[in-house]
Chain A
């Protein structure tokens, strides 16, 4: 079972470059999420998509855009990368965002460095 798949696993960018992080889930989940993980900060929600066709800002959306391409795929785009966006990015999915007892399933992460 693949679960949540993220690509790429590692990436190095120069300041000002753009990039799209890809995420796909094969569990037929309705809701998908993007988090960033920074040392001493835990994980913080960037954007989420409660269902296909909808997206909403999370705690730290500035500098990012997202696209819910279809039910399976949710991409995160950095239009003009900045060193402050160096982080590990995690995609997650859950059956529904409307039921708070549903756990989220996480991908293995994308380690992104901005020089």
Chain B
């Protein structure tokens, strides 16, 4: 079946550091790919998405590119802020619903 693998945290960075959170997937067909963010005590919010190979999703300074050849969708941000501290989930969409990775807890220190 479909699966998503992402680096497990916690990942701790200093403010203004460069961020990469790796995500790879296994799926039949050509799924859409998503990054969701969960702030403490809240539900998941869509951060960005890409629906086909070579698409780049972007939002709030975050970017991710759908790489079909490496089955990856790595999340990047050039300069993180304390307010980016949250749990980030990579997910793929098949007909039934979303298949999630286990989540990466990101901690940004001032």
Contact = CB atoms under 8 A, between A and B. Distances in A.
A43 B95 contact: no
Contacts of B51: 100-101
Nearest to B103: A42
Interface residues of A, number: 26
Contacts of B101: 42
B44 to A, nearest CB: 4
A92 B95 CA distance: 15
Contact of B49 (A44, A56, A101): A101
B46 interface: yes
B32 A104 contact: no
Nearest to B93: A100
Contact of B44 (A44, A102, A106): A106
Interface of A: 4, 33, 35, 40-45, 48, 56, 58, 90, 92, 97-98, 100-109
Closest 8 CB pairs of A and B: A42-B100, A106-B43, A101-B51, A42-B102, A101-B32, A106-B44, A108-B43, A45-B97
Given A97-B96, A100-B93, 10 more contacts: A4-B43, A42-B4, A42-B100, A42-B102, A43-B100, A45-B98, A90-B43, A101-B49, A106-B44, A107-B43
